[in-house]
A = this chain, B = another copy of it.
Amino acid sequence: MTDQNIYLKDVGLDEARAAWAAQLDAVGLVGRLGVERVPLVRAAGRVTAGPVWARLSSPHYHASAMDGFAVRAADTRGATETRPLSLAIGSAARYVDTGDPVPQGFDAVIMIEHAQRLPAEAGAPEGAIEIMQAAAPWQYIRPMGEDVVATELVLPANHRLRPQDLGALAAAGHAEVEVSRRPRVAIIPTGTELVAPGSMVKPGDIIEYNTLVLGAMAEDAGCVVTRFPIQRDDYAALRQVVAEALASFDLVVVNAGSSAGREDFTSRVFEDLGALKVHGVAIRPGHPVMLGVARAAIDQPWRAVAGIPGYPVSAVVTFELFCVPLLRAWQALRPPEPVLIDAVLTRKCVSPAGDDEFVRVSVGQVADRLVASPLTGGAGVITSLVKSDGVLRIPRFKEGHHQGELVRVELRTEIARVRNTIVAIGSHDMTLDLLSNALGQRAPAMRLSSAHVGSLGGLLALQRKEAHLAGSHLLDEESGDYNVGAIRQTLTPHGIKVMMLGFVRRTQGLIVPKGNPKGIAGLDDLVRADVSYINRQRGAGTRALLDFELRRRGIDPRRIRGYERQEFTHLAVAAQIASGAVDCGMGILAAARALDLDFVPLASERYDLIIPIEHYASEKLGPLLEIIRDPSREFAASVEALGGYDTAQMGVELGLF
């Protein structure tokens, strides 16, 4: 191609889309790829290639709508209960089943229940019927064409076939229908470090799952997908596989590993077999995407090619922005209408000015407001897509949004699902996972969404009316009680009354590697030069407990190596220790057990649920509170089974503040 190697770099989203579209247009890859005739039994979900006109009327004859007798309405005039009238079977009345044709010359049907059979006699050798009511012309007849008239439009072009459409097509005399050909999509994962799901992994191995995700997205868009085996980083081998794919697939996707060096491989292969039009788009995540066309050989047809970045969130975002619309357009499947809602943003979102940013958010309805919480984690965090209910797009040249701002979110889940979400923001505890699961079992329509921002963060979320409840374990230094002081400080001045509901007591301590190789016995060991620590974030109850205990013992936090490094959950702390990166961290026994670590108990603490009374009394929280208060204590038992939990106070009302 003449413009080989002169691709657009770091352009805006709209420009990138337009440029690729123009390139595809130039090689004839715009619009429907082709049509095929399929039998109706395999046509559900397919898209009509053209308008479909009726070949037959339905019914294709005047049909009796009842079991009964076809008669001539004129013959029945004057029949009443007092002056019944008899009609000879054969000449004046003919038996018809529902669906039978009304015999020529007859123009009404009398229901069998309204016709008394009379025996045969002269003039009625087959017997007769006696009727007590006149028949209106055309009564109980489904006239020819009642449903469909031959030649009329049954379905327009570009219509996605639903079950009832198949019936209408058959009724109109069709056994097959002409539909858009399904696009064929090849997805080629590249990267020597990639391993298949379920493999035994060693450090450096990356489980390859983008082909699973992108493939399922393409299948949802109506395509036939082939997932290629993992390709090692070998230029010649990759070039050959791509060339093979170009021979028979409409779109060839190379999913790059995440390394910058590898990106060059892919772009060189594409340039060698065709031309890239776009290399790098000003979007976040997904910047290094490549878009172009290529062909297996000079005499072969052009195909669309896309180089999709390796980080899973980048991969999904770019595939959705660039590939899915193309795959749908190739079938004349119209784009799904986005569902847009306005929601209050629970946390500030800062965005680099040069990029269109796509922020994944979870959404819930608290009282009468929709609230959107940005999900943490970079482009490598696939679970942010799992937890996401929608996407907040921050356009280029806009710097972001403030906390509390009303923002427009493109919803990716049913709005009813959002309305049925109980929003928990606060301290993390593993029992919330169990509670979420128990809620799904008891009330399948309901969902518990928990964001982990620490105890104080949870109370502040309640203050801003962004959550239904907060898990909190904030030790009150003066009273020795939990949470009451913090509630009085953060919620009472704002007129927010809350129920403090007992949930669990749990053992806090130091999580240490299996066998406790450094012999850590308590907080005094944290200042040892050979001991490194991993902390929790400011506002976390565990952090408050540590700081309280350090102060009580007169230990200067600055003497602890790693005091400044923070994780946001117990499990994340435990994972750091399991990896060998640090020697200890404070957390709960369950987290240590989960990762097979050892544990030095320090104290037992209360973890309560703080629930504003307007929600505590609400119907919405009913199923959740029933689980917590369940007299069978089934849920409590599952919590105790984790170890390190005492559920004696679960469901007890500890006070109204």
Residues of A within 8 A of B (CB): 40-41, 44, 51, 56-62, 65, 67, 97-101, 104, 107, 112, 137-138, 142-159, 162-171, 173-176, 191, 193, 196-198, 201, 203-210, 212-217, 219-220, 227, 257-261, 310, 312, 316, 332, 334-337, 339, 377-378, 380-383, 385-386, 414, 416-417, 420, 430, 433-434, 436-437, 440-441, 444-445, 564-565, 567, 569, 571-572, 574-576, 578-581, 594-595
Contacts and interface: CB of A to CB of B under 8 A. Distances in A.
A65 B436 contact: no
A193 B381 contact: no
A58 B207 contact: yes
A44 B166 contact: no
Contacts of A215: 41, 163
Given A147-B380, A209-B166, A212-B170, A153 B436 contact: yes
Nearest to A595: B150
A259 B580 CA distance: 76
Number of copies: 2
A176 B150 contact: no
Contacts of A444: 158, 332, 334
A207 B171 CA distance: 6
Contacts of A576: 143-145
A151 to B, nearest CB: 4
A151 B571 contact: yes
Nearest to A433: B153
A175 B208 CA distance: 11
Q: Which 10 A-B pairs have the closest CB atoms?
A: A175-B198, A337-B416, A145-B575, A170-B209, A151-B594, A163-B216, A170-B197, A153-B433, A164-B385, A149-B571
A41 B210 CA distance: 11
A380 to B, nearest CB: 6
A51 B380 CA distance: 23
Nearest to A153: B433
Nearest to A332: B444
A156 B441 CA distance: 9
B337 A417 contact: yes
Q: Which of A57, A112, A260, A575 has the most CB of B within 10 A?
A: A575
Contact of A217 (B147, B158, B163, B169): B163
Most chain B beta-carbon neighbours within 10 Å: one of A65, A154, A156: A156
Nearest to A137: B565
A99 B258 contact: yes
A339 to B, nearest CB: 8
A362 to B, nearest CB: 14
Contacts of A203: 60-61, 101
Given A382-B167, A386-B168, A157 B437 contact: yes
Contacts of A257: 98-99
Contacts of A258: 98-99
Contacts of A216: 44, 162-163, 166
24 contacts: A57-B578, A58-B207, A60-B203, A61-B204, A62-B581, A67-B261, A99-B206, A137-B565, A143-B575, A145-B579, A150-B575, A156-B436, A157-B440, A163-B216, A163-B316, A164-B213, A167-B209, A167-B312, A170-B198, A170-B209, A171-B383, A173-B201, A334-B444, A336-B414
A174 B198 contact: yes
A385 B169 CA distance: 12
Contact of A575 (B107, B149, B159, B381): B149
A428 to B, nearest CB: 10
Nearest to A434: B153
A175 B214 CA distance: 16
Nearest to A376: B146
A382 B56 contact: no
A195 B40 CA distance: 15
Contacts of A100: 193, 204
B101 A445 contact: no
A257 B63 CA distance: 14
Nearest to A257: B99
Given A174-B197, A176-B198, A206-B99, A144 B578 contact: yes
Contacts of A259: 67, 97-99
Given A382-B147, A417-B337, A575-B143, A158 B316 contact: no
Contact of A572 (B58, B145, B155, B193): B145
A445 to B, nearest CB: 6
B440 A383 contact: no
Contacts of A336: 414
A30 B45 CA distance: 30
B414 A166 contact: no
Nearest to A532: B107
A382 B385 CA distance: 40
Chain B CB within 10 Å — which of A61, A312, A382 has the most?
A382
B65 A581 contact: no
Contact of A60 (B201, B212, B377): B201
Contacts of A436: 153, 156
Contact of A337 (B173, B332, B445): B445
Contact of A41 (B173, B212, B420): B212
A197 B209 contact: no
A40 to B, nearest CB: 5
Contact of A143 (B159, B220, B572): B572
A212 B166 CA distance: 7
A413 to B, nearest CB: 9
Nearest to A61: B203
